[in-house]
Amino acid sequence: MERVLGRDFKRFIGKEILFKGWLAQIRKLGGITFLLLRDRTGEIQGVLEKRSLFLPPKESCVEVVGVVKQERQAPGGIELVIKEIKTISEAKELPFEIGRERYLNVKLDTLLDYRPLVLRNPKVGTIFRVEAEIVKNFREFLTKKDFLEVFTSKIISQATEGGSALFKIQYFEQEAYLTQSPQFYKQMLVGAGYERVFEVGFVYRAEEHDTSRHLNEYLSLDLEMGFISDEGEVMDLEEELLRYIISRLNERQDYLKVFGISEISFPKGIPRITFEEAKEILSGDKGCDLTFEEERNLARYVKERYDSDFVFVTKFPYFLRPFYTMPDEKRPYCRSFDLLYRGVEVTTGSQRIHEAKVLRDNLVAFGLRPEDFGFYLMIFDYGMPPHGGLAIGLERLTVGLLGLRNIREASLFPRDRKRLIP
Amino acid sequence: MERVLGRDFKRFIGKEILFKGWLAQIRKLGGITFLLLRDRTGEIQGVLEKRSLFLPPKESCVEVVGVVKQERQAPGGIELVIKEIKTISEAKELPFEIGRERYLNVKLDTLLDYRPLVLRNPKVGTIFRVEAEIVKNFREFLTKKDFLEVFTSKIISQATEGGSALFKIQYFEQEAYLTQSPQFYKQMLVGAGYERVFEVGFVYRAEEHDTSRHLNEYLSLDLEMGFISDEGEVMDLEEELLRYIISRLNERQDYLKVFGISEISFPKGIPRITFEEAKEILSGDKGCDLTFEEERNLARYVKERYDSDFVFVTKFPYFLRPFYTMPDEKRPYCRSFDLLYRGVEVTTGSQRIHEAKVLRDNLVAFGLRPEDFGFYLMIFDYGMPPHGGLAIGLERLTVGLLGLRNIREASLFPRDRKRLIP
């Protein structure tokens, strides 16, 4: 007999079928035994035909033969009347109930230690289906706009964002580092004639942060585009991109309902507030970066005033941004922006410097040595268009979209200050 | 004036337009100056209206105003009659001619040192358009088959494929390694209830090889599937997958013609030869792995006999394969296979052991300590279906498909025994 997936049961009413999956729950109710069966397509109710059937422990892998029946009281209106049940792989006694809630009654560290088991919880498991959907639509949108997907090395000999927060690798006789961002490569590939590139890949920050919104390895959704007039074009593109991603997510009601979300809202336009204006609104210190608290307060202000969960903060002071950022006409600002979502920074982007001389001078001004950046600077000497780009942190975006509590929940196998396992 | 891309010129015949891109070539022919212009969509012929127009050096970034004209003698039947040309970013004198051939008259090391510049050569640049297309279709095919895309950590505390060839990372106070493969994670995610997962990501091998077919960082196209009956199902899937990828590539005549390829051939069925049979055909030593030379000779044999560029070598001896490989009924073999393409191994796959006890025993038999693999073994105690999977090396596949000479040509920024730059 061929295996039938749970989602296809409705086409087999009255027929005997073979199901394969996991035995998620066993419930006895007034002399009847109900089972919850799970496969990759979801959950199905089963009911035992005979009381005498042997049942393996919960979460065992099973093969079940039964007859599909319409049953108004069953979830989805369908249940499987079970004639035989065979154990493929027996489960030991569970360390905790997997259940159906997102926040299992266990602390986060235990959840992460038992990650593969915890992923069988529908709420936890759906987080990563949502992430796959976000990434798919990120690529789909950009591919339609002529962006080329690229894959650039994660082992580098030189820091991109400043030298402090790098993981060191022993690369044969040489010292190397894990990349903090594909920044240099994206720019080089714009100059290589591709003009528009994107990359989905891990980046690494050896930062000592141990907070609910920092990971030491995270998935960066990067893009870079040539022949722009200013960073406003990059923001326009991101706005359109996020509108697309969120509208596609809103079509996935099967995912959203797991989180009790009916629709993810997106504003008509994302408000754009300069750094200077933001600091004025917040009565903050213009000489310092936005604090986490200021980000949250600005988000609250924008939500009340513009009914938007998103806000672009534009024209950051140049001394808060990397050396490759294009300076603004108005000093001491530059053409760099952040996108905040529900009070958390999910994107940093900017127009970049494309003139070789300005870039070399800026390296020196930032206390760096142009000779260390020769491989990056080369293409700027052979015809480099004006360009800009951005990076979206996938896990942070997901935390915002689904209302998660801790960024570790949005990483399959998170790496933080202490955690290297699983 | 809005920018018009080269590929859209045909919709602007007789009209004045603005072009942005690179000045690829300047040719004087009988008093007329022809230009070759390049943007992300390809190349366009330009012709100077006036002799007196100032021209920047080749490969400069330019804005051009001109009138689109039908011209039978021009490539593509269209040329731009140029009225104005403005330099956006001037190129220095080129270190070598970029030209239009794949094998520029420069040695590979120089080509890689100048990678972004060399990518402007249409043949070199198209290699990575082809790779993006392969990856896109890999994902598309698997997504249609219910595979979930996953992203798993590249920083691990434990070797997957044996302990020798790992790059060491200093992870705060701990020692960690760059992953050799997402093997453990793929399996754990099958057991997590996703059943079918795939990942596209870099993997790392600290091997001292310095050959035309080894990279120390390469892109692995990984998949893993649950509820299989044997490794034959995994091979069936790969055959269907590759047929799909190649048939989609064959639709990209714009890419293939750059390499002088009219069609990439794919056999009706990929021949499957056991390791034992292969060694008999080759009169080789059954106690040793296939040598590179044997792989080439087997490929020649299969090409002559079955007219196939692909061949599966199945049922490898278990002592040549990792501890997690399912043993075969027939000793000393196991359910592991390689796929050779044009004489080069492009895939290794197998059915895996899914019984916790067998897996623990096998770790011991391989001289490993089960207690070091606790994070991996955990899920096998809680209901693990029979499963198997494979990994395709993207760069090797691309080398075979396009007939490249060296695997470094198929990596944007290759990392080999010596190279960390660019």
Residue of B5, B420, B421 to mutate for A, most A C-beta atoms under 10 A: B420
Mind listing the pLDDT tens digit for each residue in B243-258?
999 999 999 999 999 9
The whole-number pLDDT of residue A161 equals: 60
**Does residue A397 surpass a pLDDT of 80?**
yes
Q: Collect all residues of chain A within an 8 Å Cβ-Cβ radius of residue B140.
A: none
Q: Would you give the distance in Å from CA B39 to the centre of its chain? A: 24
Place of tokens 């929940």: A409
Check residue B31 and give its pLDDT: 85
d(CA A204, CA B155): 10
| Cβ-defined contact of A381 to B92 (cutoff 8 Å) | yes
Res B102 pLDDT > 70: no
Q: Which residues of B touch A93 (CB under 8 A)?
A: none
Predicted pLDDT at B164: 66
Q: Is the pTM of this model over 0.90?
A: yes
Q: Which two tokens stand for residue A44?
A: 């199905």
- The answer on pLDDT for A162 being more than 90 is no
Q: How far apart are the two ends of chain A, measured CA to CA in Å?
A: 37
Is A361 a residue whose pLDDT tops 70?
Answer: yes
In chain B, residues with a C-beta closer than 8 Å to the C-beta of A208 are 172
* pLDDT on residue B144: 98
Q: How far is CA A390 from CA A222, A225, B232, B235, in A?
A: 6, 9, 44, 40
Q: Are strands A168-171 and A174-178 parallel, antiparallel or unpaired?
A: antiparallel
Residue A168 C-alpha, separation from nearest chain B C-alpha, in angstroms: 6
Question: Confidence class of residue A100 from pLDDT cuts 50, 70 and 90?
Answer: confident
pLDDT of A164 over the 90 cut:
no
H or E segment and range at residue B217: strand B217-226
From start to end of B15-145, where are the E strands? 16-29, 32-39, 42-48, 61-70, 78-89
**The dihedral of CA A106, A112, A113, A117: what is its sign?**
positive
- Say if residue A382's pLDDT is above 70: yes
pLDDT of residue A159: 64
Decide if B393 touches A, using CB distance below 8 A: no
pLDDT at A199: 98
Nearest to A61 among B94, B154, B383 (CB): B383
Rg of chain A in Å (alpha carbons): 26
Average pLDDT over residues B369-396: 96
Beta-carbon separation of A136 and B153 below 8 A = no
CB contacts, 8 Å: A150 with chain B: 128, 132, 412
Q: Tens digits of per-residue pLDDT, A312-351?
A: 999 999 999 999 999 999 999 999 999 999 999 999 999 9
Helix locations, B169-291, DSSP H: 183-189, 231-251, 253-256, 275-281
Handedness of CA B194, B195, B200, B201 (dihedral sign): positive
- Quickly tell me which residue has 């005979």 as its tokens: A50
A149, A195, A217 ranked by CB distance to B39: nearest: A195
Give yes or no for a contact between B313 and B278, defined as CB atoms under 8 angstroms apart: yes
Q: Show Cβ contacts of residue B367 under 8 Å, excluding neighbours closer than 6 positions.
A: none
The DSSP call for residue B325 is B
Q: B152 or A161, which is more confident?
A: B152
Closest CB from B139, B185, B193 relative to A40: B193
A88, two tokens? 């493929």
Mean pLDDT over B282-311 rounds to 96
List the single residue in B with minimal CA-CA distance to A395: B151
Rounded to whole angstroms, the Cα distance separating A75 from A261 reads 19
- Show residues of chain A in contact with B168, CB under 8 Å: 169-170
Which has the minimum average pLDDT: B24-38, B78-92, B143-157, B189-203? B24-38
Report d(CA B126, CA A193) in Å as an integer: 11
Taking only residues 261 to 300 of chain A, the set having a beta carbon closer than 8 angstroms to any beta carbon of chain B reads none
Q: Where are the beta strands (DSSP E) in B40-178?
A: 42-48, 61-70, 78-89, 148-149, 155-156, 168-171, 174-178
The mean of the pLDDT values for chain B is 95
User: In degrees to the nearest 10, what's the CA dihedral of A78, A83, A86, A92?
Assistant: 60
| Mean pLDDT in residue range B138-142 | 98
ipTM of the complex: 0.97
Residue A63, pLDDT score:
97
- The torsion angles phi and psi of B283, rounded to 5 degrees, stand at 50, 45
How confident is the model over A109-127, as pLDDT tens digits?
999 999 999 999 999 999 9
Does residue B162 sit at the A interface (CB-CB below 8 Å)? Answer: no
Top pLDDT among A188 and A111 is at A188
Best probe of the B interface among A22, A89, A417, by most B CBs < 10 A, is: A89
CA distance A75 to B411: 50
Question: Torsion angle of alpha carbons B138, B142, B143, B146, nearest 10°?
Answer: -170
Instruction: Among A215-219, B170-174, B417-421, name the most confident range.
Output: A215-219
Give yes or no for a cis peptide into A422 (omega within 30° of 0).
yes
At residue B359, what is the residue type? L
Q: Does the beta-carbon distance from A420 to B20 stay under 8 Å? A: no
- Indicate whether A103 pLDDT > 90: no
Looking at residue B333, its pLDDT comes to 97
- For chain B, the straight-line distance linking the first and the last C-alpha, in angstroms and rounded, comes to 37
A145 touches chain B (CB under 8 A): no
Residues 47-76 of B with CB under 8 A from A: 59-61
The pair of structure tokens assigned to A332 is 């001491």
Query: How far is residue A217's CA from residue B178's CA, in Å, rounded to a whole number?
Result: 12
Phi, psi of A292 (to 5 degrees): -55, -40
